[in-house]
Chain A
Amino acid sequence: MKQTIIVFVQDEPGVLNRISRHFYRLNYNIESITAGRSEAMGVTRITIVCNHSDQYNQSLIKTQLEELNTVLNVQDITSVPSIVREYALIKVQTQKEEKDKLSELIKNYSAKIIDSGELISIIETTGEMEEVESLIKSIKQFKILEIMRSGNMAMVRVDQDEHRIEIEEIDKKKGWATQQISDALS
């Protein structure tokens, strides 16, 4: 089955290493993993989409991750109505005369060209995974040079507030990257 999990972790070196081995150990395939700083200082929020046979019960990965000291909270949102979105960059090469056709085509999607040269353009898009897939499919008529996809990010819907998790800020000393980022910005 496919499972979507949100993991809140302390922002410190090695934390991904500690988490990812549990997926490997259970023979879960990570389809996508996306991480970034959260609303709480020192806390990184990760969305993981994984695939697995039904050998283990669904909550096992959650309880195993929760056991880790560096993990603050784990939420399995597989069946919680949520906004799940992906961001993608696609580098395409077209013939000169095809450029308009490309612009026309992507109008059907929430996508835009954010960089373009004589023949090559970079398209930026966001959407559900299926929309991104469909965009890529339709651009295939041109020459796709590169694709970079963020993988899914998820947030439970507004009307699901009981599923929202409040994360407390943690000791500033412990926030490693976020501390450096905010130091750099301030």
Chain B
Amino acid sequence: MKKQKLTGAEIIWECLIKEGVDVVFGYPGGAILPTYDALNNYREKIHHVLVRHEQGATHMADGYARVSGNVGVAMATSGPGATNMITGLATAMMDSSPIVCITGQVPTAVIGSDAFQEVDITGVAIPVTKHCYLVMDVEELADTIREAFYVARSGRPGPVLVDIPKDIQNAETEFIYSEKEINLPGYQPTVDIQDDDIKEFAKMVNEAKKPVILAGHGILLSEASKETLELAEKASIPIATTLLGIGGVPDSHPLVLGMMGMHGETWVNNAIQNADLLIACGMRFDDRVTGNLKTYSPNSKKIHIDIDPSEINKNIKVDLAIQGDLGNVLRHVNPFINSAKKTEWFNIISGWNKESQQRDVLNIKTDALLGAQAIRKIWEGTKGNALIITDVGQHQMLEAQYYEHDDPRTLLTSGGLGTMGFSLPAAIGASFYEKDRDIWVIVGDGSFQMMLMELATAVQEGVNINIAIINNGYLGMVRQWQQMFYDARYAETPISSPDFLKLAEAYGINGYRVKSLDEIIPAMNKANKITGPTLIEFIVEEHDMVYPMVPAGANLNDMIQRPLFNENGQYKKKEKVL
């Protein structure tokens, strides 16, 4: 029997369906027209979300991927459509998020001739993708898309771009979706674990007196929460998380110390600096995590478990490196770990912890609303159970400090690239997967304005998200650096905003404004009753800072602390911080 032929465009949708895709975020244009035309035949199986900017499409795919662990898909036309995706690809690349971007390209016959809307997008995208393909033959289309999904999700996940010329979308061929196991000669995502390494690992853990587990994003990607906790509980090891590791282990667990690094808490960074063993689990020693490399945890032995060999010994030289999937490695090692109590070590850490409490923002009394207090209230109001998507800046760090996450994949944030504008589209994307939790976007006034056009997408799709704009009238994080390191010369950091309530009205959604602590929960309750997007603007103290802070390149234990305050909740010294 002769098989029916399909066009390249139809093959694209067939492949997506085979890969289990049910939602695609995209924007049409000339070079992708055949594919959009074919979409009409696939509407029951695939929902297409019309975005307002292709960058938004990539963040939506990214948000979908981060919350689900599945590959997110974005689609755009050639030229400007494709170049608009670059920031989203780079964001996904830095944070190991599996997305596949499909772009239209000018017809093969005119590639290289500066044809209308032609950009060599695979050339542009090489540095910001895990891999990218230009399909020059319709016979290779199905295999290429299949390979793209495989590469995106396997090993260390990442973004993949598939560029498909218009004539390839129109060309016809038989559609065969191979079921064979994919075997790429230059790509081996899995590795075997060596027994010797496991023994050595266990020995180092069993001998340690002051160990710390550094829990990274790899815990989420490997779904190794259980194994990590088992290791920690058995040997009594405190756990510090990276920004992207938050939620990998429950923040409320007594062994979990909190976030490490530039805006990590004092006791967490002190624990790392004074440790005799660091067990790095799926984290890559980013410079925001280590501070000065030369003085980083000087007296500790270091074990690094990472699936990506190029991360090992890149920034920090380690004593034992194990390449592999974190969960798998820990399942091997846990049986060899002896039970132990480390009372002395915990006493030292809780001493640092006590000292810090005297500086905790939540104990300060002020008339103004502080960003940290606002976020703590959101935590209360959502019972710590929401899916939170943050943007980039002070509000992002405050969320990391004051919103406790007990479940994996409940915080989505752009860590490695720090892409302002990420939160709203990422939340829209995530909402297509997450149906059980309330979804809250926590976004700065600056960041919101960077992608606010996606509000229209949210409204059109009727997605259930609540947007909390933390409005401090500044590009706060940059202003903080100017205040600390540039003698408070504020160059271009004050930023004006539209009237957000009127903006909400213009988009046809409900908006609320809160200026004090006790207005927050009532506003949240109102917002929660509404289906579809809502917006709450939090007017917060303008000049507040995020503490503690390790200045870029400083030693991890040289933190700038929040100034002490007295029993009335007032700062002891008149500081310029408030």
Residues of B close to A64: CB separation below 8 A: 310
Is A21 an interface residue when CB atoms closer than 8 A count as contact? yes
Is A59 an interface residue when CB atoms closer than 8 A count as contact? yes
A57's contact among B123, B126, B127, B317, by CB below 8 Å, is which? B317
Q: Is there an interface contact between B310 and A21, defined as CB atoms closer than 8 Å?
A: no
Residues of B close to A121: CB separation below 8 A: none
Is A68 an interface residue when CB atoms closer than 8 A count as contact? yes
Dominant secondary structure at the B interface: mixed
Closest to A168 in B: B185
Closest to B156 in A: A67
Nearest-Cβ distance from residue A131 to partner chain B, whole angstroms: 35
Q: Which of B116-135 contact A (CB under 8 A)?
A: 122-123, 126-127, 131
Residues of A close to B109: CB separation below 8 A: none
Is A53 an interface residue when CB atoms closer than 8 A count as contact? no
Known: A63-B309, A66-B310, A69-B187. A17 touches B126 (CB 8 A): yes
Interface size on A, residues (CB 8 A): 23
Known: A57-B313, A67-B310. A21 touches B127 (CB 8 A): yes
Q: Is there an interface contact between B310 and A60, defined as CB atoms closer than 8 Å?
A: yes
Closest to B311 in A: A63
Is B184 an interface residue when CB atoms closer than 8 A count as contact? yes
Q: Which of A14-29 contact B (CB under 8 A)?
A: 14, 17-18, 21, 25
Is B351 an interface residue when CB atoms closer than 8 A count as contact? no
Residues of A close to B126: CB separation below 8 A: 14, 17-18, 21
Q: Which of A155-179 contact B (CB under 8 A)?
A: 168, 170-171
Is B308 an interface residue when CB atoms closer than 8 A count as contact? yes
Closest to B317 in A: A57
Residues of B close to A170: CB separation below 8 A: 185
Known: A18-B126, A57-B317, A69-B151. A63 touches B310 (CB 8 A): yes
Is A88 an interface residue when CB atoms closer than 8 A count as contact? no
Compute how far the CA of A67 lies from the CA of B126 in the bound complex, rounded to whole angstroms.
13
Nearest-Cβ distance from residue A170 to partner chain B, whole angstroms: 5
Is A113 an interface residue when CB atoms closer than 8 A count as contact? no
Known: A57-B317, A59-B313. A10 touches B185 (CB 8 A): yes
Known: A17-B123, A21-B126, A63-B309. A72 touches B314 (CB 8 A): no
Residues of A close to B127: CB separation below 8 A: 21, 25
Interface residues on B, range: 10 to 19
Q: Is there an interface contact between A68 and B186, defined as CB atoms closer than 8 Å?
A: yes
Residues of B close to A60: CB separation below 8 A: 310, 313-314
Known: A17-B123, A60-B314. A72 touches B309 (CB 8 A): no
Residues of B close to A57: CB separation below 8 A: 313-314, 317
Q: Is there an interface contact between A67 and B314, defined as CB atoms closer than 8 Å?
A: no
Compute how far the CA of A170 lies from the CA of B127 in the bound complex, rounded to whole angstroms.
25
Is A71 an interface residue when CB atoms closer than 8 A count as contact? yes
Compute how far the CA of A171 lies from the CA of B312 in the bound complex, rounded to whole angstroms.
31
Closest to B127 in A: A21
Residues of B close to A34: CB separation below 8 A: none
Compute how far the CA of A56 lies from the CA of B310 in the bound complex, rounded to whole angstroms.
12
Residues of A close to B186: CB separation below 8 A: 9-10, 68-72
Q: Is there an interface contact between A69 and B184, defined as CB atoms closer than 8 Å?
A: yes
Centre residue among B122, B186, B309 by max chain A CB count within 10 A? B186
Nearest-Cβ distance from residue A76 to partner chain B, whole angstroms: 14
Nearest-Cβ distance from residue B155 to partner chain A, whole angstroms: 9
Bitwise interface map of B from 497 to 519 toward A, beta carbon under 8 Å scored 1, else 0 = 00000000000000000000000
Compute how far the CA of A170 lies from the CA of B314 in the bound complex, rounded to whole angstroms.
31
Centre residue among B123, B151, B187 by max chain A CB count within 10 A? B187
Q: Which of B301-344 contact A (CB under 8 A)?
A: 308-310, 312-314, 317
Residues of A close to B310: CB separation below 8 A: 60, 63-64, 66-67
Bitwise interface map of A from 1 to 43 toward B, beta carbon under 8 Å scored 1, else 0 = 0000000011000100110010001000000000000000000
Compute how far the CA of A14 lies from the CA of B139 in the bound complex, rounded to whole angstroms.
20
Nearest-Cβ distance from residue A57 to partner chain B, whole angstroms: 6
Compute how far the CA of A21 lies from the CA of B312 in the bound complex, rounded to whole angstroms.
20
Known: A60-B310, A69-B131, A69-B151. A14 touches B122 (CB 8 A): yes
Q: Is there an interface contact between B309 and A66, defined as CB atoms closer than 8 Å?
A: yes
Q: Which of B549-570 contact A (CB under 8 A)?
A: none
Compute how far the CA of A44 lies from the CA of B307 in the bound complex, rounded to whole angstroms.
27
Compute how far the CA of A70 lies from the CA of B127 in the bound complex, rounded to whole angstroms.
14
Residues of B close to A68: CB separation below 8 A: 131, 186
Bitwise interface map of B from 166 to 194 toward A, beta carbon under 8 Å scored 1, else 0 = 00000000000000000011110000000
Could you give 19 example pairs across A and B, Cβ below 8 Å?
A: A9-B186, A14-B123, A14-B126, A17-B123, A21-B127, A25-B127, A56-B314, A57-B313, A57-B314, A57-B317, A60-B310, A60-B314, A63-B312, A66-B309, A67-B310, A68-B131, A69-B187, A72-B185, A168-B185
7 tightest A-B contacts by CB?
A63-B310, A69-B187, A170-B185, A72-B186, A69-B186, A63-B309, A69-B131
Q: A64-B310, A67-B308 are in contact. List 19 more A-B contacts (CB 8 A).
A: A9-B186, A10-B185, A14-B122, A21-B126, A25-B127, A59-B313, A60-B310, A60-B314, A63-B310, A63-B312, A66-B310, A67-B309, A68-B131, A68-B186, A69-B184, A69-B186, A69-B187, A71-B186, A170-B185
